[in-house]
Amino acid sequence: MTVLQNVGNWLSERLEWEELIAPLKKKTVPRHRLSYWYFLGGITLFLFIIQVLTGILLLLYYRPGASEAFESVQYIMTQVQFGWLIRSIHSWSANLMIFTAFAHMFSVLFLKAYRKPRELTWVTGVVLLVLVMGFGFSGYLLPWNTLAFFATKVGTDIAGQVPVIGHPIMVFLRGGEEVTGATLTRFFGFHVAVLPGLVFLLLVIHLLFVQRQGMSVPPRVEKEWEENPAARRELKFFPNFALRELMAWYVGLGVLGALAALFPWNLGVKADLFASAPAGIKPEWYFLFMFQALKLIPSKIWFMDGEVVGILTCALVGLLWMLLPFFESDRKARSQHWITGISVFALIFVVTMSVYGYVAK
């Protein structure tokens, strides 16, 4: 018996983990031609773990405050051993995480994995995506550079347009009427305390749902398996699926490392509160589709302000999007068709608006 086994037995006697991991040993994952889409959620989780680890390391040197934030990030990038790597991985990983979260959401839609009984998994997933975008928005300001400063100004301005509650929300987000050092401190608090707490809670719930309900099988594959039960194939979650997931994580790690080494995240120029906004300022790519859509709305729609209509429409669409699984009627085939139609439209809309926003002046 090896030392490792001895330690394992010793711990098992005290923690009784055999019982804890028993469900994992029994757990299986459906195996079919679309199984690779299952990896997206795991990759998003992997990138989140990277975010937490690199974020903790950055916290050792980062100093929130208008007079120190930029300099501290500059110090991390130039003086701290491997500081450039940690910061670049943190920034790249954040962007990749939002991308994989979006991809995961659309894969769930197209594979129809949101269906009963997984409605709440979908709801927690959509809320998680919103929170992850909140991570992006709050984290973008932390280096306190010119682009971040004006992007935050524009972003919080948009929030301020909401009737009645808009202005109080804007003041709450900014810590005052304007974007200042108080906003930075506040965003730092959201980024390292509030959002991680909420995301952790929802992530646990989301994963518990996934574990309890297992992986969804696409309707077409399900039908094939019903017609031919011999074709049904499954994979043990541990170690078979976990090892495959590990391979995906390794690939993700390689991509992250390559991006960080070949394209270190730019620091930009320190924010100047009295400077005029750079021409053609745009938000980060994941907000671009909403930004561009708002820009295309006429300034006046009937008697209402166009921007207000746009913001309220965005909020309403977001809410309906979160509740999408609940709109499925009992006549499944019919509702699935229109939900798939909406999903295709949403994907085309997001991609087109993002590209248009990127190329538009």
Partner 1 sequence: MAMLQSKSHASAFPRCLLATSLLLLAASLSHAQTKNSCLDCHSALPAQLGVTQEQFSHDVHEQKGLTCVSCHGGDPSSDDPAQAMSRKAGWKGPIERRQIPQLCGSCHSNPDFMRRYNPGLRTDQLAQYHTSVHGKRLAAGDSKVAVCTDCHGVHDLRAPNDPQSTVYATNVAKTCSHCHSDAHTMAGYKIPTDQYAKYTTSVHSQALMVRGDLSAPTCTTCHGNHGAAPPGVASVPQVCSTCHVFQAQMYEKSSHKAAFDSAKLPGCVVCHENHAIAHPTDAKLGTGPGAVCMQCHTPGDRCDQAREQILSQSTQLDTAIKAADQELALAEASGMEVSEARLGQNEARDALTKARVAVHSFQVKEVSANVQAGLKTANKDLAAGQQAMVERNHRRIGLGLSLLAIAIVLPGLWLYIGKIEK
Residues interacting with partner 1, by CB under 8 A?
Answer: 74, 77-78, 84-85, 239-240, 243-244, 246-247, 250-251, 253-254, 257-258, 261-267, 269
C-beta of 189 vs 257, nearer to partner 1: 257
C-beta of 166 vs 268, nearer to partner 1: 268
In contact, 57 and 28? CB cutoff 8 Å: no
CA atoms in the 13 A half-sphere facing the CB of 95: 14
* Residue 297 structure tokens: 């709305």
- Residues 6 or more apart whose Cβ sits within 8 Å of residue 248: 39, 42, 43, 46
C-beta of 257 vs 306, nearer to partner 1: 257
Work out how close the CB of 306 gets to partner 1 at its nearest, in angstroms, rounded to a whole number: 34
Cα–Cα dist 171/44, whole Å = 32
C-beta of 7 vs 49, nearer to partner 1: 49
Work out how close the CB of 139 gets to partner 1 at its nearest, in angstroms, rounded to a whole number: 18
* Residue 105 structure tokens: 């959401």
Nearest to 37 by CA among 95, 132, 106: 106
In contact, 135 and 195? CB cutoff 8 Å: yes
In contact, 118 and 209? CB cutoff 8 Å: yes
Work out how close the CB of 78 gets to partner 1 at its nearest, in angstroms, rounded to a whole number: 5
Work out how close the CB of 224 gets to partner 1 at its nearest, in angstroms, rounded to a whole number: 22
C-beta of 262 vs 333, nearer to partner 1: 262
Work out how close the CB of 277 gets to partner 1 at its nearest, in angstroms, rounded to a whole number: 20
The CA-to-CA distance between both ends of the chain, in Å, stands at 69
Run of H or E including 172: helix 166-174
C-beta of 135 vs 149, nearer to partner 1: 149
* Residue 6 structure tokens: 């001895």
Work out how close the CB of 243 gets to partner 1 at its nearest, in angstroms, rounded to a whole number: 5
